[in-house]
Structure 1
């Protein structure tokens, strides 16, 4: 077999392949055998029909077609490997010549990963928010904890802001009670904004047994987005009482003996959170700078697939769970369809470029993923998915997703290496040492946010599908 590679553009090539006819013999034998099992010829036992009889009865062309279809994936894969190509997606194959007993010639056009030049990135400089934990921050954290330990006491008076009321609700649209629009015994804190718009005004001033009707747009359910007439009945009013902020509260709400110890722990936790946020911010800004340094052509077909995947996931998974459609989502976000399309395309482009660049860095820096790193990443992914590690691992293996997980971890390590090489300063002009946050940065990158994974497993999936198709 002979093959040649012609570069059509930075992300697409044309393979020209010539196969001597003798290399088709195994596929021809397989074609005769397959046809033998499918047809019946009088005078011959099934599976024992001579090749010349098959040629006479069904035509040599049918045999050749079957043989070529069986052989093409192997010849294509051999040509890809010979050309050391990193292909994306399925090829467009065109049979140029098929001479019985002489030659098979075909071309295959396919998208490929572009060759990238990664320049020296050690000069990257970014600015991040300075870390500051104020007394007000600590007060807010302690107050939130205090809210969790509030007690309620039923009262015989009109409901007011901050009270916890027990409600019965009934929603009508166009005069008809909705099947999923009736609820009883709903607990609601007036002023929390956790239920329907307008409910605070409706129940404020009502005593137990009081009723009110108001109009509100439904946020979920079968009539999400529609205006409904809602009747609300208050069955109980209870006042909320917050515990005193003292040592006794600290002992109730934590493992600490004093309020001061509790406040110190809250300050430490807040600082840790801000340090993590700062590391993530540094990671995102370093990535943006890195992408500015590298020219990354994006295959158009891959981009369209990525945009389609993002839209599908948003509409059929995220929005469906919230009972929203795309039109309602855009209305809530205050975006036009054109703005949504532009933002989705930009995010998809960034995702693909990010994956290409970080994968190239993995190769350039010779980064490897060991079993411990892979196991730790698998544990984190399992926790975020709500599955047990064993269940998640089984799903990964059955779905042939191990290479994808390895890629996530490797890209996380690549981005962490770039962050460590960069100069990061806070808004006070102080150099930020992210060495302590390096592991967290790798985790955040590997978990696939809008940074290291940015988004795109499409390229990887396309390669896997291409390999499967070629091999099978």
Structure 2
């Protein structure tokens, strides 16, 4: 087989492939064997009919068509492997020549990863907010802990912000009842904003057994995007009583004996949480700096695939009715044109980010260990409320294990860049990123030792 590559653009190539017919003999044998099992010819047992008789019965053209269709994927894959191009997405294949007994020729146009000139990582400098811990931060944590151990008691007064109420809800649109928006005995924390827009404001001041109406825009279901008349009835009102923040509470809520020890521990947790937030800010700003400094040609097919996936998910929520999606967007003060524009911009950024981080990972030979992949799978399974075994099975069935691996590798590649970038806070202090993202020099030394050990 012979193949050549034409560079159509920085992100697209045409692969020209010529296959001598003698290389298709295994494919012909496979086709004859399969057809012999399917076609009944008098005087021959299933699977034993000679090739000539099969050709006479079915015609050479039908057999040739099956051989070509079966052979194309493998020959295309072989051409890709020998051409040293990194393909993205599915190819557009066109058969250009079939000379029976002589040659099969075809072309495959496909998007490829572009060549990317990466900046010097040490030239990247970003500034982030410093870590600051206030007494208010500690009190907020303590208050949250007290709320977890609080108790609810019935009160005979109007609803206040922060109360817990039992409510009944119903809704109508143009006088028609909306069944999926009706419920009874629903528990709700006033001020949480977790239900219908306008509900919390309506509830404040209401009393038990009182009903009120208000209008709100439905965001899902058959009437998504429509303005509805909502009726809410309060069944009961409860307030949360919090335990005193004293030594007794510290002993009940933690392993500490005093409230001061508990506050010290909470301070440490707040500090760790803010370090995680700062690490996220550093990562985002370094990535933004990389994107600004690097020219990344975008494969149109990859961008369109991202756009199509977002649109599919958006329309799926409206029973694949694009008119309903447009109505919902208008109700939110947007439009389909703005949605399409924003979606394409987000897709372009996503593809650019993936290509850039893949280029960094390849240049730096970023490796992903089994433990790192397992850690990501465990994290993802917890997010989706699934057991690791169920999650892995679902991921494998969907063919997404490679995507998870690529995501972990990109994250490690970006962490390697962060480790070489200059990071300071707004007060002029140097931020040590080794604790957050690891020490690239130390990891490189460990990798070198591992290689030497395996060589011995």
Instruction: Report what 1:126 is aligned to.
Output: 126
Deviations 1:425-448 (A, max 9, x none): 11112111111111699xxxxxxx
Alignment of 1:444-463 (within 5 A): none
> In 1, Cα distance between the equivalents of 2:9 and 2:201?
64
Instruction: Report what 1:354 is aligned to.
Output: 353
Cα RMSD after superposing both structures: 3.2
Alignment of 1:89-168 (within 5 A): 89-168=89-168
Check 1:136–1:120 CA distance in 2 against 1; reply closer, same or farther (3 A cut): same
Q: Offset at 1:162?
A: 4.8
Q: Residue 394 of structure 1 aligns to a residue in which SS?
A: helix
Check 1:233–1:405 CA distance in 2 against 1; reply closer, same or farther (3 A cut): closer
Q: Which runs of 5+ in 2 are unaligned?
A: 441-456
Q: Offset at 1:282?
A: 0.8
Q: Offset at 1:424?
A: 0.8
> In 2, Cα distance between the equivalents of 1:342 and 1:371?
39
Check 1:390–1:143 CA distance in 2 against 1; reply closer, same or farther (3 A cut): same
Q: Residue 122 of structure 2 aligns to a residue in which SS?
A: coil
Q: Offset at 1:419?
A: 0.4
Contact between 2:225 and 2:330, CA under 8 Å: does it hold in 1? no
Q: Residue 292 of structure 2 aligns to a residue in which SS?
A: helix
Instruction: Report what 2:277 is aligned to.
Output: 277
Instruction: Report what 1:29 is aligned to.
Output: 29
> In 1, Cα distance between the equivalents of 2:424 and 2:309?
37
Q: Tell me whether 245-254 or 115-124 shows the greater mean CA deviation.
A: 245-254
Instruction: Report what 1:85 is aligned to.
Output: 85
> In 1, Cα distance between the equivalents of 2:75 and 2:386?
42
Instruction: Report what 1:413 is aligned to.
Output: 412
Pairing 1:179–2:206 present: no
Instruction: Report what 1:452 is aligned to.
Output: none
Instruction: Report what 1:339 is aligned to.
Output: 338
Contact between 2:357 and 2:410, CA under 8 Å: does it hold in 1? yes
| Count of matched residue positions in the alignment of Structure 1 and Structure 2 | 437
Instruction: Report what 2:250 is aligned to.
Output: 250
Check 1:382–1:33 CA distance in 2 against 1; reply closer, same or farther (3 A cut): same
Instruction: Report what 2:65 is aligned to.
Output: 65
Contact between 1:276 and 1:440, CA under 8 Å: does it hold in 2? no
> In 2, Cα distance between the equivalents of 1:212 and 1:431?
57
Pairing 1:438–2:437 present: yes
Contact between 2:14 and 2:109, CA under 8 Å: does it hold in 1? yes
Q: Tell me whether 156-165 or 84-93 shows the greater mean CA deviation.
A: 156-165
Check 1:117–1:58 CA distance in 2 against 1; reply closer, same or farther (3 A cut): same
Q: Residue 367 of structure 1 aligns to a residue in which SS?
A: coil
Flag the structure with more relative contact order, 1 or 2, with Cα contacts below 8 A and sequence separation at least 6. Answer: 1
Q: Offset at 1:131?
A: 1.2
Q: Tell me whether 45-54 or 301-310 shows the greater mean CA deviation.
A: 45-54
> In 1, Cα distance between the equivalents of 2:311 and 2:154?
48
Q: Offset at 1:126?
A: 0.8
